[in-house]
Amino acid sequence: MILTPIYEAEFLGFSYGFRPERSQHGALDALAYGIKGRNVRWVLDADIRSFFDTISHTWLVRFIEHRIGDKRIVRLIRDAAGCGDLTVACEPSTSTVSTICGSTRGAC
């Protein structure tokens, strides 16, 4: 919620991914409206494979620091993204792993 006003202005009107009050259903409705009555031969849908698994923590923090001046907010984001040590509590054991890339989304 803190970052939404900062980054929301950067998105184009046809961007739907991970935005407030936008969904895949809205994207499909906009697509259907946009191509209705036109001779469209193909539609391209692209996804970045394993982006959150391979993102560089150094790059992520540097990118955020470029737009966010408050070091406390940057530290909260760095901690939430799993930059540094990650404690993984999966059955049957718990271990600590030092991470240099990737995020903690769906660790188990």
Tokens of 77: 């984001």
Same domain, 91 and 57: yes
User: Structure pTM?
Assistant: 0.51
Same domain, 27 and 54: no
What is the domain extent for residue 83? 50-108
Q: Is the pLDDT of residue 38 over 70?
A: yes
Q: What is the pLDDT of residues 53-92, one digit of tens each?
A: 777 878 888 888 988 888 998 888 888 776 555 454 455 5
Same domain, 67 and 25: no
Same domain, 38 and 54: no
Task: Determine the Cα–Cα distance for residues 98 and 70; give it in Å rounded to an integer.
Answer: 26
Same domain, 31 and 61: no
Task: Determine the Cα–Cα distance for residues 8 and 29; give it in Å rounded to an integer.
Answer: 21
DSSP H/E element including 3 = none
Q: What is the pLDDT of residues 40-61, one digit of tens each?
A: 999 887 777 777 777 787 888 8
For residue 67, CA distances in Å to 22, 30, 54, 76 come to 24, 30, 22, 15
Same domain, 72 and 28: no
Q: Of 20, 16, 15, nearest to 2 (Cα)? A: 20
Res 108: pLDDT: 39
How many independent structural domains does the chain possess? 2
